[in-house]
Amino acid sequence: MPGDAWQKFANLRAYYGWMFAFPGKKLLFMGNEFAQGREWNHDASLDWHLLEGDDNWHHGVQRLVRDLNHTYRHHKALHELDFDPYGFEWLVVDDHERSVFIFVRRDKAGNEIIVASNFTPVPRHGYRFGVNQPGRWREELNTDSMHYHGSNTGQRRRRGKRGDRQPRSGAFAVGDAAAAGDNLAGAGVCWSIKHAVDLLQFIYYRR
């Protein structure tokens, strides 16, 4: 994986966030849960020494995998309709200029988890995107949290605002920073939220 240690671990955490959120079953194998660097060797033990001593990058990945498992089990939206089209919906899939992907996971009752990703080394501050449901959304999990040895970029809660069904509108403005004519990623919905999607980051939102 390219980059320095910070970028490598940030990439890995973001990819794990994607894997647990995207439809389909999950597989982590023999040391992946704490970011063992070398390939698994059936003639040797895992590199448990990576978890010795002071808190480090590997502890951060281990905590993230623990929390991803808990989040996956706790929220039916992430697994109940894995093979049903109703359980998945793209919100942003064509933002080639900013390389942000956002989708919804949904359970049978219609409860939604929104997941947003930025796999580039460029932060997207104040990124606004359309959502299906109004209300107060909050971060459920952020792979860039300092708890996982990330840079801790992000905000805890965002309120969905009323908008229109046009690709460009000022009606869904959130706070003073939003201006009429701003581009809305994921147009065709009535509501939007605005949030920072930092570099190499994957975020889960829930209401």
How many whole angstroms separate alpha carbon 139 and alpha carbon 8?
23
Predicted model pTM: 0.82
The residues, ordered by sequence, that sit 6+ positions from 18 with a Cβ below 8 Å of its Cβ are 115, 117, 202
* Tokens describing residue 139: 């971060």
Average pLDDT taken over every residue of the chain: 83
How many whole angstroms separate alpha carbon 175 and alpha carbon 140?
22
The model's pLDDT over 20-77, given as tens digits with 9 standing for 90+, comes to 999 999 999 899 999 999 888 899 999 999 999 899 999 999 999 999 999 999 999 9
Give the end-to-end CA distance of the chain in Å, rounded to a whole number: 34
The model's pLDDT over 127-170, given as tens digits with 9 standing for 90+, comes to 888 888 888 888 899 999 999 999 887 544 445 554 433 232 22
Q: Would you tell me which CATH number, out of the four given (3.40.50.300, 3.10.310.30, 2.60.40.1180, 1.10.10.410), belongs to the domain 1-207?
A: 2.60.40.1180
Please identify which residue in the block is written with the tokens 């109940």: 80
Bridge partners, residue 89, by sequence: 104
Residue 200 has pLDDT above 90, yes or no: no
Closest CA to 112 of 75, 141, 84: 75
Q: Chain centroid to CA 171: how far?
A: 26
Bridge partners, residue 90, by sequence: 103
Supply the pLDDT for residue 130: 86
The residue type of 30 is M
